[in-house]
Structures are given as C-alpha cells and as structure tokens.
C-alpha cells in the first residue's frame, strides 16, 4: 500500500505509532549500536500485522506484550510483525524490537540520509526518510509520536537531542536520558554526539542551549548572538514559540546545509564565521520550529508549507532587523526566478523537485503576494492563527488556502492557483495593502545582484 506517493516504500497507514521508547547503546569506536525499540501502536483498522521501516540493522528478537505466538519477518527495508490474533480498529499493542549493527546513512534520490559518522562523533539528519537508519519506525511525516530515549555511550561526549537530558555514570560509560512529550514525526527526531561544550543562552525568555566544539566558541557566540532578537520578532509575527526550548549544535565537520530537527538547529563549522555572514540561515532554521516542526505536513507534496514559510521568515527577519525589506527581497527573488525554467508546481513539485530552491523561493513569494493583497495586519494575524489552530498537527495546502479565505473574508482562489498550482511565474500584485517600506531602485538593483550571486543552500 502506497501511503505517500513521494516516499512510496515508507510507512504503514494501518496503525498509529503512539509512543517510542528507545534504549540505545552506542560505541563510537567501530560505530556499533545495540538497541531495543519498544513501540506502542494503535490499530486504525483491523490488522493482522504491522510493518516498521528499518534499514541496515539486523533484528534479533521481537516481543509483543501478551502475545507469545507473535512472529516477525525482516527484509532490507521493513520489519513486519504478525500477531497471533488480529487487532481490531482501536486496539493497542506494545512491541519490543531488539536490533544491532553498524548504522550507516541510506542512499536516496535526495542524497545520503540518516545516521552518519563525523570525524569525532555522529550526526542524524533524516529528512525525509533517514529515521529508519537508527530505529524501527512508521516513517511518515504525518505520523507524530512521543518519545523516551536512553543512550549509553563513551564518556567525554555530549549527547544532544531537542530536549533537555540527564546524564549519569553507568560503569565506564555515560548514560543519558531524554523525554520528548511534544508530538514529533520520526524524521525530526535527532541524535547528535560529539565532544561538545555547552553554553546556556536566553532567547527572549525561551531557554536556549548552544553546543559547539572547543575552539569555535567565539565564532558560535558571535553568529548566534541575534537569536534572542529573532525569537522576539518571530513570536510577534508567528505567535509564541511552540516548544520548551531551542538548541543549536555546531559540528566540527563541514556540512552541506544546515538543517532543522524538533527543537533544534544543526550547523556545520562552515556555516559560522564570526561575522554573521549566514544570518539568514540562522533565521531559516529557527522559523522551522513554527513551520514544519509544530505545524507539520500531512504529506511531502505540501513541503512548501515548511520551506516557503521558513524562507519568508528570512525576509521577515531582514525587515524587522532594519536591513532589506521583505518587498525588496521579493522583487529581487522574483527577478531571479523569472530567469529560471517555469516547470514547477509549488503545490505538487514531485519527489525529484521537492527540495528545489524554487519551492522555497516561490513559496515565499506566494506568501508575499498574499500579504500585498490582504495587508500587513491581516496577513500576520493569519500566520498567528495558522500556528495556533494547527499546533502540533499536520496540514495540507488546502488547509492554508481555506484559512486564508476565512480570515480575509474574501475569495483568494485565483491568487493561490496562480502562485501554487500554475507553473508560469505570475507578477507580484502592484500597490495593494502592503505597509512595509518600498524598495528603492538602488536597493532593488543591489538585492537582485546579491541574490544571483549568493549560495542558496538551506535546510
């Protein structure tokens, strides 16, 4: 059964994964993981079996609570657990899967994903299908669960997730424990291990943690110094920060792009220089906590609701911090997109193009066109209502367009069809109700030149 056409071999829609209890023992030398995942599921329909995504790791035992005759079969992508008596719709089961191996990233059309060794430590970067490289899961973006993690590993290393953990000595090893109570899809659950130093930071009243290698403290402190101001600007524009805290991890290694996880932003050492050169990426990853992490997508077709909104947040921050206006940036990016192929539908880009920069930028332009049409106050009221109404839920493009029309009290179908469904790039609305300072001719030319030159990599 295909449950998401963009990731057709992932997930099982016949049940909901309610809670994961992950007990992990990891030895950095040799990259050796032994683990047990205990998963609470609820059947959505009558089921005789439940399939879990798992790649590159070997299952040795499966136990189903109260079912001594349950069995399992493993393939290269799945572990299928068969019950001796079918579960009726609404029935629950607790399944413990013991497994081991040397975790590796999986090869996908989007590159290497999942568990990856660093020069000294590891990183987990799963979007969209990397989670099965380290635990058995129902790997769908719409499947949000709670988690408990216990991680035993070598002393002298910090273990970091998007939640505050506790550390205790267990023999010659350190044992870390974490609880994640906010609903989280498997792709946003992360694990970072490294010889990191931790700095506590206050982010406009939100607890913040900055993890970095020795030697990068000054660069990291300088480049993330504005996080508190960003948090304030985004809370005003998008509503209260949705999670208990925000964590930043800077790896010693270079990374291709920064990326988001639940309650966390992950950056490579190449993304910080002590001069704030990639400030927009810091804003982008923070914005994902509202758009993508709290308000998630029902399917990958709707990824512009993650990336277009986070891209627009870059422009919101630029405007709030007294730099280029959102309108000036929109004009510059519109000019850039006009020179690129017009063959992408933002509302359904297809799996090969779901991470195309045009999804990010044209999605942001769609939001700016909406802002120009309805005016600043109604636009930001809409965004705050969006993050409030769908907090910790999953959404579709139709959900957003319906809410926009509800809040505006006007039909907006032709606007959204032009920006999201048609491939041809429409013109931005002229005049309208925009309250932001218009860009001067000099600013427009400078921004267009900068947009054509700069690296557009972001997570």
**Residue spans in the chain of domains classed CATH 1.10.390.10:** 294-459
444 band by pLDDT with thresholds 50, 70 and 90: very low
Q: In what order do the strands lie in the sheet with 144-153?
A: 58-64, 92-101, 32-43, 15-27, 144-153, 173-185, 166-170
Closest CA to 250 of 218, 228, 291: 218
Tell me the HSE value of 110 on the side-chain side, using a 13 A CA sphere. Answer: 20
CA distance 136 to 51: 9
Q: Look at residue 436 in the predicted model and tell me its pLDDT.
A: 47
Q: Look at residue 431 in the predicted model and tell me its pLDDT.
A: 64
Active-site residue among 143, 285, 314, 319? 285
**Is the pLDDT assigned to residue 267 strictly greater than 70?**
yes
**Is the pLDDT assigned to residue 52 strictly greater than 80?**
yes
Neighbours of 88 (CB within 10 A): 10
- Find where tokens 């627009």 sit: 312
Active-site residue among 6, 157, 360, 443? 360
CA distance 143 to 251: 29
CA distance 248 to 269: 12
Q: Do the beta carbons of residue 318 and residue 329 sit within 8 Å?
A: yes
- Average pLDDT in the 331-344 region? 97
CA distance 162 to 2: 30
Q: Do the beta carbons of residue 408 and residue 378 sit within 8 Å?
A: yes
The residue count of the chain comes to 459
What residues are paired with 79 via a beta bridge? 52, 74
- pLDDT per residue as tens digits for the range 294-314: 999 999 999 999 999 999 999
CA distance 304 to 297: 9
Domain 15-113+129-184's class?
A: mainly beta
State yes or no: 279 annotated in a binding site: no
CA distance 70 to 7: 28
- Average pLDDT in the 6-26 region? 97
- Average pLDDT in the 36-50 region? 98
Closest CA to 164 of 220, 81, 72, 247: 247
447 band by pLDDT with thresholds 50, 70 and 90: low
2 band by pLDDT with thresholds 50, 70 and 90: low
**Is the pLDDT assigned to residue 420 strictly greater than 70?**
yes
Task: Please confirm, yes or no, whether 360 is among the known catalytic residues.
Answer: yes
433 band by pLDDT with thresholds 50, 70 and 90: low
- Mean pLDDT is lowest, of 294-308, 319-333, 444-458, for 444-458
CA distance 200 to 220: 12
State yes or no: 19 annotated in a binding site: no
**Is the pLDDT assigned to residue 288 strictly greater than 70?**
yes
CATH fold for the domain made of 195-289: Zincin-like (3.30.2010)
Instruction: Give the angle subtended at the CA of 294 by the CAs of 228 and 405, to the nearest 5°.
Output: 105
**Residue spans in the chain of domains classed CATH 3.30.2010.30:** 195-289
Q: Look at residue 170 in the predicted model and tell me its pLDDT.
A: 84
Please give the mean pLDDT across all residues of the chain.
Answer: 94
CATH 3.40.50.2300 applies to domain 294-459:
no
State yes or no: 284 annotated in a binding site: yes
CA distance 413 to 404: 10
Establish whether the linkage from the previous residue to 128 is cis, with ω within 30° of 0.
yes
Closest CA to 139 of 110, 107, 105, 114: 114
């Amino acid at each position: 059964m295909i449950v998401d056409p963009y990731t057709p071999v992932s997930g099982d829609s016949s049940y909901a994964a309610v809670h994961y209890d992950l007990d992990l023992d990891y030895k950095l030398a040799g990259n050796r993981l032994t683990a047990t995942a205990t998963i609470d599921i609820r059947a959505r329909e009558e089921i005789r079996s439940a399939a879990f995504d798992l790649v590159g790791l070997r299952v040795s035992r499966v136990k189903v609570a109260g079912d001594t005759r349950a069995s399992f079969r493993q393939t290269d992508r799945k572990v299928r657990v068969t019950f001796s008596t079918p579960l009726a719709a609404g029935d629950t089961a607790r399944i413990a899967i013991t497994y081991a191996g040397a975790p590796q990233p999986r090869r996908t059309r989007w590159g290497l994903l999942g568990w990856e060794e660093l020069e000294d430590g590891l990183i987990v970067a799963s979007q969209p299908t990397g989670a099965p490289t380290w635990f058995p899961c129902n790997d769908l973006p719409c499947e949000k669960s709670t988690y408990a993690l216990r991680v035993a590993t070598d002393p002298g290393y910090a273990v970091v997730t998007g939640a505050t953990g506790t550390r205790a000595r267990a023999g010659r090893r350190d044992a870390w424990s974490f609880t994640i109570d906010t609903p989280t899809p498997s792709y946003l659950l992360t694990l970072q291990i490294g010889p990191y130093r931790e700095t506590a930071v206050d982010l406009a009243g939100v607890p913040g943690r900055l993890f970095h290698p020795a030697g990068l403290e000054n660069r990291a402190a300088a480049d993330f110094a504005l996080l508190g101001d960003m948090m304030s600007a985004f809370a005003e524009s998008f509503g209260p920060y949705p999670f208990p805290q925000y964590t930043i991890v800077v790896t010693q290694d270079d990374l291709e792009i920064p990326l988001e996880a639940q309650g966390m932003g992950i950056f490579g050492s190449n993304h910080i220089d002590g001069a704030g050169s990639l400030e927009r990426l810091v804003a982008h990853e923070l914005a994902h906590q509202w758009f993508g992490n709290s308000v998630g997508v029902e399917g990958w077709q709707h990824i512009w609701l993650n990336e277009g909104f986070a891209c627009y947040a870059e422009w919101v921050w630029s405007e709030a911090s007294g730099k280029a206006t959102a309108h000036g940036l929109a004009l510059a990016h519109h000019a850039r997109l006009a020179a690129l192929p017009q063959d992408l539908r933002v509302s359904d880009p297809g799996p090969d193009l779901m991470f195309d920069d045009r999804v990010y930028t044209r999605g942001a332009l769609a939001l700016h066109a909406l802002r120009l049409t309805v005016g600043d106050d109604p636009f930001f009221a809409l965004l705050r209502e969006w993050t409030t109404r769908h907090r910790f839920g999953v959404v579709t493009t139709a959900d957003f367009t319906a809410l926009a029309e509800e809040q505006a009290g006007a039909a907006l179908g032709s606007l959204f069809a032009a920006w999201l469904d048609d491939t041809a790039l429409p013109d931005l609305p002229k005049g309208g109700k925009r309250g932001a300072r218009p860009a001067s001719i000099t600013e427009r030319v400078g921004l267009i030149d900068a947009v054509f030159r700069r690296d557009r990599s972001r997570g």
